[in-house]
Structure 1
Amino acid sequence: MLKVLYSGSVTYLDEKNNVFVAPSSSCTYIETSENKIIVDTSSKDKKKIIISNLNKLDVKLKEIDYIISSHNHNNHNGNNGLFRNAKIVKYSDGSINDFKDPEVEIIWTPGHTFDSISVIHEDYVVAPAAVHLKKNILQNYDIPIAIDLEISKKSIQRIVSLKKHVITGHDGILYASEYL
């Protein structure tokens, strides 16, 4: 099972010139036969939304086995502390190598940051660091903040080539039928 707990958002001061404040990442819950997983915990101000949506699924904070952090930005991992029993998985410290779940694959998708990762589960790619907005795929729109724009484009191309639904960082789900 995969459920988006929060779709992510960006508040723009000037959208035309891509000047933004207060980005909050998506937060995705994945339940496999072996684990309960959260991909990105969003920003601290989304705490109540995340807890409320987990409660609707009858999932308790202490039941989460893993938090997979797409990268090390506060608007993506601001609520990690809520999940005290969870192991945090990220690229930057090598913990990605210790994560084992036959129903989940983690892929390296750098560009926004060097340590950006995405998660594949069933018909979905959870790509909150690699694909900020739907228009990154639909309009070939560049990610506004990338350590390497060319690498970022290659990561997005890799995600598109999987032909799955994409959970973006700040813009909800982009269904495969919308871009294929």
Structure 2
Amino acid sequence: MCDIVVMYDGYSNLKNKHEMKANCSCTLIKGFHNIVVDTMTSWDRDKIILALKKEDLTVDDISYVISTHGHSDHIGNNNLFLKAKHIVGFSVSFKDDYYLHPFDEGEEFKINNNVKVIPTPGHTLTDVTVLVISNSKETVALTGDLFEKFEDIEDPGIWLDAGSEDEVLQRKNRSKVAQLADWIVPGHGPKFKVTDEIREILLKQIHIQS
């Protein structure tokens, strides 16, 4: 099993038509492999090092760094982790070695018995979600911007306004992940519990014309 520590909750607040304040959720998975998911902006280096120190870890203790997609607020400190294998969207690499995993064919990437990475395109066409079995035997989905925040369940305009390269795929994958997960860590908000009501709402939204 794994211990899942949300080191920093993401946020996004529109200031005006042309400006917003935003940063992504940054999560540590402690287990057979230590994994960091989404490394925030380039200005958050010291925050990540401090958060790892609180967990008695250093950057060299991290085996995998996973960026749910390639936007700047999700990859800003990937270069802290020079001993880790990196997964950025559909790209898997270590140093200058690249591994051609068929995410585009729907195939999951299994890290160990408790952690796997699945393709969930929509926000970008190469988005991934990390599914983790926690110490309490619940499934936690670290989704990046597949889910912007809890409020976008009732108000899809939130995730649509955040940008979607394929709205139809994103609706389908939001519903798919909700069927698999007990908890969701969204890209820009606190972790939330997935209820049957949420699953029903998301299933109905698949059929909404974008």
Tell me the TM-score range normalised by the shorter chain.
Answer: 0.7 to 0.9
How far 1:99 moved relative to its partner? 5.5
Secondary structure in 1 matching 2:15:
strand
Q: Distance between the aligned counterparts of 1:20 and 1:133, measured in 2?
A: 19
Aligned position for 1:129? 145
Contact 2:35–2:63 (8 Å) recurs in 1: yes
Counterpart mapping for 1:61-140 below 5 A = 61-94=59-92, 95=99, 97=101, 100-122=111-133, 123-140=139-156
Q: Pick from 101, 119, 143: which aligns with 2:160?
A: 143
How far 1:111 moved relative to its partner? 0.6
How far 1:163 moved relative to its partner? 3.9
| Larger relative strand fraction | 2
After TM superposition, the structure 1 stretch with the greater mean CA deviation from structure 2, 119-128 or 138-147, is 138-147
After TM superposition, the structure 1 stretch with the greater mean CA deviation from structure 2, 72-81 or 98-107, is 98-107
What per-residue deviation string (whole Å, max 9, x for no partner) do you get for residues 146-168 of structure 1?
01111111111111112411001
TM-score by length of 1: 0.87
Max radius of gyration: which structure? 2
Secondary structure in 2 matching 1:50:
helix
Contact 1:117–1:129 (8 Å) recurs in 2: no
Q: Distance between the aligned counterparts of 2:21 and 2:155, measured in 1?
A: 23
* Identity level (%): 26
Counterpart mapping for 1:37-76 below 5 A = 37-76=35-74
**Unaligned 5+ residue runs, structure 2?**
93-98, 102-108, 134-138, 200-210
Q: Distance between the aligned counterparts of 2:186 and 2:48, measured in 1?
A: 17
**Unaligned 5+ residue runs, structure 1?**
none
How far 1:108 moved relative to its partner? 0.8
Q: Distance between the aligned counterparts of 2:147 and 2:85, measured in 1?
A: 24
Give the superposed CA RMSD: 2.1
Q: Distance between the aligned counterparts of 1:167 and 1:121, measured in 2?
A: 11
How far 1:84 moved relative to its partner? 1.4
TM-score by length of 2: 0.76
Aligned position for 1:165? 183
